[in-house]
Structure 1
């Protein structure tokens, strides 16, 4: 027989686990600073669509990198990094620092632009 405290702990852990896998829910804190309205223009400026297919961006039909459909709901970036707005912005700014040796090159995207691109990508659900 399980004690009430153990049952409560198990129920709490199950609830947290189920909530973490809820489809359609974007990860990340509500205090992330980024302007999603600037994202599409910056994506065009840095030519992200030459490697990625990105919904809502004309001509963004590359197939070198993964398609970014529903990127705002994914659990991981590059199959390794926990997906959060801050981690995504860091990844966009310097993917080699985040995961050395991966295929995505550093594009010279400054932090502010990376945060605005990440804010836009988080709208893709």
Structure 2
């Protein structure tokens, strides 16, 4: 067996592994889009635009290693948002847009997230299971 054959086998195996990893992710993205009416692929750049990475560690968002707010990994599986709201798409969007309106004592600032942007951000967060 030549080195070239071994490399081809490794490339093929890697492609299969990547495809297998994408299946649940693709399903999570479809479900999140259906729940929120947003596109999860727009979430990471919007989260950077609004500065979420300054306070939160967010999987899939470059430079999001903040230590002020809670890490957002697994947020889709949590029972509550901000410790005060049941985790529903409507509540997630409400919290993102106006956290101080929900809990005046929260350290999370209102960042000016728009109605259209909040759907995409929430859609992305609902892929983080």
Report TM bin, short chain. Answer: 0.7 to 0.9
Whole-Å separation in 2 of the counterparts to 1:45 and 1:57: 11
Q: Tell me which residue corresponds to 2:39.
A: 35
Structure 1: give runs of 5+ residues left out of the alignment.
1-27
Which one has a larger percent helix, Structure 1 or Structure 2? 2
Structure 2: give runs of 5+ residues left out of the alignment.
1-31
Counterparts in 2 of 1:36 and 1:96: CA distance versus 1, 3 Å:
same
Number of matched residues? 99
> TM-score, normalising length from structure 1?
0.73
> TM-score, normalising length from structure 2?
0.71
User: For the Cα contact (< 8 Å) 1:72–1:124, is it kept in 2?
Assistant: yes
For residues 55-106 of structure 1, give each alpha carbon's deviation from its aligned partner in whole angstroms, at most 9, with x where no partner exists.
1111000000000011011000111110111111111111011222211110
For residues 12-69 of structure 1, give each alpha carbon's deviation from its aligned partner in whole angstroms, at most 9, with x where no partner exists.
xxxxxxxxxxxxxxxx9x5531111110110111110110000111100000000001
The structure 1 residue matched to 2:124, chosen from 103, 120, 123, is 120
Q: Tell me which residue corresponds to 1:55.
A: 59
Residue 109 of structure 1: CA displacement? 0.7
Whole-Å separation in 2 of the counterparts to 1:121 and 1:107: 17
User: For the Cα contact (< 8 Å) 2:98–2:110, is it kept in 1?
Assistant: yes
Whole-Å separation in 1 of the counterparts to 2:77 and 2:35: 18
